[in-house]
Structure 1
Amino acid sequence: MNVKKILKTSVVTAIASVCLNAGDLTIATVNNGHMVEMQKLSKVFEKENPGINLKWVVLEEGVLRQRVTTDIATKGGQFDIMTIGMYEAPMWGKKGWIEEMKFDAAYDEKDLLPAMVDGLSSDGKLYAAPFYGESSMLMYRKDLLEKAGMTITDNPTWEHISEVAKVIHNPDQGVYGICLRGKAGWGDNMALITTMANTFGAQWFDKDGRPQLNSAAWNNTMDYYVDLLTKYGPPGSSGNSFNEILALFNEGKCGMWIDATIAASFISDPAQSKVADKVAFAQSPVGVTSKGANWLWSWALAIPSSSKNVTDAQKFISWATSKEYIKLVGDTNGWGKVPTGTRKSTYENENFKKAAVFADAELKAILSAKPKDSTLMPTPFVGVQFVTIPEFQGIATSVGKDMSAALAGKISVKEALADSQETAERTMKRARYYK
Structure 2
Amino acid sequence: MARRNPVRIAALGLVTALAATGCAGWGGGVSGGSSSSINVLMVNNPQMVDLQRLTAANFTRQTGIQVNFTVLPENDVRDKISQEFSSQAGQYDVASLSNFEIPIYARSGWIAPLDAYIAADQQFDQADILKPMTQSLTADDGKIYGEPFYGESSFLMYRKDVLQARGVTMPANPTWQQVADIAARIDNAQPGMRAICLRGQPGWGQLFAPLTTVVNTFGGTWFDKDWTPRVNAPEFRAATQFYVDLVRAHGEPGAAQAGFTECLNNTVQGKTAMWYDATSPAGSLEAADSPVKGKMGYAPAPVAQTRSSGWLYAWAWGIQQASRKKDNAWKFVSWASSRQYEELAGGQLGWSRVPAGKRASTYRNEKYLAEAGAFAEPTRRAIESADPRNPGVQPRPAIGIQFVDIPEFTDLATQVSQDVSSAIAGRESVPAALDKGQRLARDVAERYQARESK
Gaps of 5+ in 2: 1-34
TM-fit CA distance, 1:172: 7.5
TM-fit CA distance, 1:363: 1.4
- Is 1:238 aligned to 2:256, yes or no? yes
| Aligned partner letter, 2:303 | V
- Is 1:340 aligned to 2:353, yes or no? no
The residue aligned with 1:173 is 191
TM-fit CA distance, 1:318: 2.1
- CA distance 1:161–1:320, shift in 2 (3 Å): same
TM-fit CA distance, 1:323: 0.9
Give the 3-state SS of the residue equivalent to 2:123 in structure 1: helix
- Is 1:351 aligned to 2:367, yes or no? yes
CA distance in 2, matches of 1:63, 1:148: 46
The residue aligned with 2:164 is 146
The residue aligned with 1:408 is 425
Larger fraction in helix: 1
The TM-score normalised by the length of structure 2 is 0.82
CA distance in 1, matches of 2:397, 2:233: 18
- Is 1:54 aligned to 2:54, yes or no? no
Q: Does the 8 A contact of 1:27 with 1:79 survive in 2?
A: yes
The residue aligned with 2:441 is 424
1:229 to 247, 255, 269: 247
CA distance in 2, matches of 1:112, 1:172: 42
- Map 1:157-236; keep pairs closer than 5 Å: 157-170=175-188, 173-236=191-254
TM-fit CA distance, 1:76: 5.6
CA distance in 2, matches of 1:291, 1:79: 42
Q: Summarize deviations over 1:307-327 as a string: whole Å, max 9, x none.
A: 455444333322211111111
The residue aligned with 1:281 is 298
The TM-score normalised by the length of structure 1 is 0.85
Give the 3-state SS of the residue equivalent to 1:324 in structure 2: helix
Q: Summarize deviations over 1:378-410 as a string: whole Å, max 9, x none.
A: 434332212233433332232233323332334
CA distance in 1, matches of 2:293, 2:275: 14
- CA distance 1:406–1:22, shift in 2 (3 Å): farther
CA distance in 1, matches of 2:333, 2:215: 35
Name the stretch that deviates more: 223-232 or 189-198.
Answer: 223-232
Give the 3-state SS of the residue equivalent to 2:253 in structure 1: coil
The residue aligned with 2:105 is 92
CA distance in 2, matches of 1:397, 1:23: 39
TM-fit CA distance, 1:224: 1.6
Give the 3-state SS of the residue equivalent to 2:400 in structure 1: coil
Q: Does the 8 A contact of 1:46 with 1:54 survive in 2?
A: no
- Map 1:245-260; keep pairs closer than 5 Å: 245-260=263-278
TM-fit CA distance, 1:150: 0.7
- Is 1:117 aligned to 2:130, yes or no? no
TM-fit CA distance, 1:80: 3.7
Q: Summarize deviations over 1:259-292 as a string: whole Å, max 9, x none.
A: 1222222211223x221111111111112x0255
- CA distance 1:47–1:394, shift in 2 (3 Å): same
The residue aligned with 2:173 is 155
Name the stretch that deviates more: 254-263 or 40-49.
Answer: 40-49
Gaps of 5+ in 1: 1-20
Count of equivalent residues: 411
TM-fit CA distance, 1:64: 4.3
Give the 3-state SS of the residue equivalent to 2:405 in structure 1: coil
The residue aligned with 2:333 is 317
- Is 1:130 aligned to 2:148, yes or no? yes
The residue aligned with 1:4 is none
Q: Does the 8 A contact of 2:59 with 2:332 survive in 1?
A: no
The residue aligned with 1:295 is 311
Q: Does the 8 A contact of 1:291 with 1:374 survive in 2?
A: no
Q: Does the 8 A contact of 2:52 with 2:69 survive in 1?
A: no
CA distance in 2, matches of 1:43, 1:150: 52
CA RMSD of aligned residues (A): 2.7
